[in-house]
Amino acid sequence: MKLIRSHSGDSSQANPAEVMRASEHHQRFIELTLAQRTDANGRAVLDAEWRYIGTLLGARAAEPLDVLDLACGSGHQTLAWAERGFRVAGIDFDRDLLSAGQERLRRAAGDTITARWTCGDATQLPYADASFDVVFNNSLLEHVPAWQQVLSETARVLRPGGVFVMYTTNRTCPVQQEVNHFPFYSWLPDPIQRRVLAWIMEHRRDLVNFTDFPAVNWFTFGGMSGAFRHAGLEPFDRLDLMARRGAGGLRGLLARAMSRSVVLKLPYYFYATSMALYGVRRAGSPIR
């Protein structure tokens, strides 16, 4: 598997809930998260994503869908999905963020829309097999040492033909969104990256937005596509989906040309600040 990974993290780390309870930075992290992830931002992301998600769902896109917002945080995406009339569940391990998400829905819509909220672990999802048509995840795998287990659990809870939408780090791009003002950070050799991150966590927590769980995994499109297949998910990137839906104009023409070859996709992989990958759960795929 051609997965390029840097600073893989410490899987023996203390329980995340205990870390957050003891953290002097957690309240600042909550405040910054709420300021950055607004209702309008959540709606805009889903509006833009629906062209790709709808392409994969086909006729199923017109049906009532069961949606899991995985690592939902403060619920800006949960709100956007619920406003579209879908049955939405949000799960996160941070109780304070979940409370903020519940308040977000109440403020935006009173009792007219609802979501199911769960405080839980993404590596052990508390849902039955084949429970959801869509699993949406924005920025989780880069923070979790056991990221392969998250993929396995995601595939397990998806129905056949269901879609996993995932954003994570892109090691190939020299610009990244995990350590502020630090181009080429993702290209650093693992030992150097470990030292730099340790210094940041001790002296400049603002560079990682005051989180107690900074990004420790850096992925390539090829490596993550292989991980999707191993989990029973057929992977597509945005070039694949633009070509599949027959997008017009110069962008559509370029997408169709580039989608035919991994080599031709390299400029896109270099340009994409973060990785967006889409996986379809195929009928009959074994659950790993």
How far apart, in whole angstroms, are the C-alpha atoms of residue 259 and residue 136? 23
How far apart, in whole angstroms, are the C-alpha atoms of residue 247 and residue 244? 8
Dihedral sign for Cα atoms in the order 244, 250, 255, 257: positive
Question: 230 in the Ramachandran plot: left (φ > 0), alpha (ψ -120 to 50) or beta?
Answer: alpha
Q: Is this prediction's pTM over 0.85?
A: yes
CA atoms within 13 A on the CB side of 114: 2
Strands ordered across the beta sheet of 116-119: 116-119, 87-92, 66-70, 132-138, 158-169, 274-281, 233-236
Dihedral sign for Cα atoms in the order 10, 99, 71, 131: positive
Predicted pLDDT of residue 10: 45
How far apart, in whole angstroms, are the C-alpha atoms of residue 37 and residue 94? 16
What residues form DSSP beta bridges with 118? 91
Cβ-based neighbour number of residue 11 at 10 Å: 8
From residue 28, give the alpha-carbon distance in Å to each of 20, 24, 100.
Answer: 12, 8, 14
Distance of CA 132 to the CA centre of its chain: 16
User: CB burial class (10 A; 0-12, 13-18, 19+) of residue 112?
Assistant: exposed
The dihedrals phi and psi of 285, each to the nearest 5 degrees, come to -70, 130
How far apart, in whole angstroms, are the C-alpha atoms of residue 170 and residue 245? 24
Cβ-based neighbour number of residue 131 at 10 Å: 16
How far apart, in whole angstroms, are the C-alpha atoms of residue 88 and residue 65? 8
Predicted pLDDT of residue 286: 58
Q: pLDDT 10s per residue in the chain (288 long)?
A: 344 444 444 434 567 777 877 899 999 999 999 999 999 999 999 999 999 999 999 888 888 899 999 999 999 999 999 999 999 999 999 999 999 999 999 999 888 899 999 999 999 999 999 999 999 999 999 999 999 999 999 999 999 999 999 999 999 999 999 999 999 999 999 999 999 999 999 999 999 999 999 999 999 999 999 999 999 999 999 999 988 877 678 777 888 888 888 899 999 999 999 999 999 998 766 555
Q: Nearest CA to 178 among 235, 139, 219, 227? A: 139
Distance of CA 69 to the CA centre of its chain: 9
Quick check: helix, strand or coil at residue 278? strand
Cβ-based neighbours of 273, under 8 Å, separated by 6 or more: 170, 173, 175, 176, 177
Predicted pLDDT of residue 287: 58
